[in-house]
Amino acid sequence: MAKVVVLGAGISGHTAAAFLKKKLGKKHEVVVVSPAEYYQWIPSNIWVGIGKMTVDQVRFKLKPVYDRWKIDFRQAKATAIYPEGTSESSMPCVAIEYTSAERSGETEMITYDYLVNATGPKLNFAATEGLGPDKHTLSVCSYSHAAQAWKELQACFARMEKGEKLRFLIGTGHATATCQGAAFEYALNVAHLIRTRGLQDKAEVTWISNEYELGDFGMGGAFIKRGGYVIPTKVFSESIFAEYGIKWIKRAGVSRVEKGVAHYETLDGEQKSEPFDFAMLIPPFSGVGMKAYNRNGEDISSALFAPNGFMKVDADYTPKAFEEWSVEDWPSTYQNPAYPNIFASGIAFAPPHGISKPLKSPNGTLITPAPPRTGMPSGVTGKIIALNISKLIKRGETEFRHRASMGKMGAACIISAGFGMLKGNAATMTVFPIVPDWQKYPDWGRDISYTVGEAGLAGHWVKLFLHYMFIHKAKGYPFWWLIPE
């Protein structure tokens, strides 16, 4: 009997665990370790942050689902990996610390035959002084953060209704932050709520981002087909912001936040400030902080993890000039080169380089979005890892048939811009591939037939449908495996 341990139960980890158990059945053991009691459908946190969904509409408890699937669930956080075993045992193992109320603080070593690191990111608010829900800014990165943002937003509406004029600042809270899409979506929804409440004259909404141009989204931007024309995402994004009355600040790295004011550096090296009454700024991401040790207890973290804490996989991490980077540098199996029974999926794997061109200010500050790995890439990588491990275990296959490079993978993004079956709106964009391939597609970097963008009510219906479809899938309801990632 083989034992597979999955660290993390987000989109990627939960997908990996589901397919592992489906393929391996009762003869093999699947263990999931996650510090959270709940699964959350993160894309819908935006709607929690504007009061259109409750917390319980975007989350559910993991244990009942895993009990039904016969998966061993441990509510705990992984702290260290021992890929060679310890002095007491030669079996590879991972150290965990329980976070459940019943066993909080207890520690344990769990052995494994195969390990999947799907821990996702650490929300590194500490990278920017004053950033975060416990300081001066808000977040929608978790359902609890989003609920707090909605509470604060309601207070702002009450103040505006009494005649105050307020300033809303939404975007990225660090010079190298990613997830511009989530912030973009939140900005549009806040602007929509302000408009539907008739408070436009009492609000000023400003977007602040480390993107060189709007619509970069950490993917170097894109050229999309819209209405029979090919336009850059810069034009697509600027036109939507203009329609919603949102101002923008780009090429900005937020360096410090005080109560009511965000300080930032521009790509030109200028130091500026932007006042606010309400700020939702996405933090940078880093690895969760796991360590790795050999059998003698010596630290070998550098063999498993990149300096940013994300796990090394089958990517080409050789330092190169931006012009020399290639889609071939990107991983396709997500297997660690030093320990082939360890894999990393979703945000947990270390990208070989950024997709957007790295740019520094005259002061040496890197002001560039990090590459995104959320949503579809997270689900797809979790699934292909599960399929490959199941083939390893059941058939001994060492040549992986399932591959998913972001240089050969497409993605769809639906950005909500207002909630409502008749008055809702959404900007829908698809790109193929995620990492542009200028050799294969010399004109646009991507296949323009599959890289398109549209906005309208239909997009909102699709996003709402996808919410319930993916909750159905995550709960393991009938035919869940037929729903694509």
Res. 391 pLDDT band, cuts 50 70 90: very high
> CA nearest 254: which of 325, 173, 374, 194?
173
Question: Could you tell me the pTM of the whole model?
Answer: 0.96
Average pLDDT of the chain to the nearest whole number: 95
Q: Please give the pLDDT value at position 426.
A: 82
Residue 228 pLDDT class (50, 70, 90 cuts):
confident
pLDDT at 420: 75
DSSP-based three-state secondary structure for 129:
strand
Phi, psi dihedral angles at 267 (to 5 degrees): -65, -20
Looking at residue 225, its pLDDT comes to 82
Q: Indicate the residue type of 59.
A: R
3-class SS of residue 283: coil
All structural domains of the chain, each given as residue ranges with its CATH number in brackets, are 3-123+286-361+368-395 (3.50.50.100), 148-284+409-482 (3.50.50.100)
Sign of the Cα torsion 145, 150, 155, 157 reads: positive
Secondary structure of residue 226 in the 3-state scheme: strand
Mean pLDDT of all residues in 262-269? 98
Does residue 397 carry a pLDDT above 90?
no
Q: How far apart are CA 384 and CA 305, in angstroms?
A: 21
Which of 13-17, 417-421, 459-463 is the least confident region?
Answer: 417-421
Cβ atoms of residues 178 and 231 within 8 Å: no
- 319 pLDDT band (50/70/90 cuts)? very high
Predicted confidence band at 87 (pLDDT cuts at 50, 70, 90)? confident
- What is the reported pLDDT for 455? 80
110 three-state secondary structure: strand
Band of residue 57 on the pLDDT scale cut at 50, 70, 90? very high
Between residues 205 and 417, the one the model is more confident about: 205
Tell me the one-letter amino acid at 163. Answer: G
Q: What share of the chain is helix, strand, coil (3-state, %, to 5)?
A: 30, 25, 45
151 CB-near residues (< 8 Å, 6+ apart):
none
| pLDDT score of 277 | 98
Mean pLDDT of 146-170: 98
Model confidence over 288-297: pLDDT tens digits?
A: 999 999 999 9
Q: Is the dihedral of CA 32, 35, 41, 42 positive or negative?
A: negative
Whether 35 has a pLDDT exceeding 80, the answer reads yes
pLDDT (0 to 100) of residue 229: 82
pLDDT at 414 over 90: no
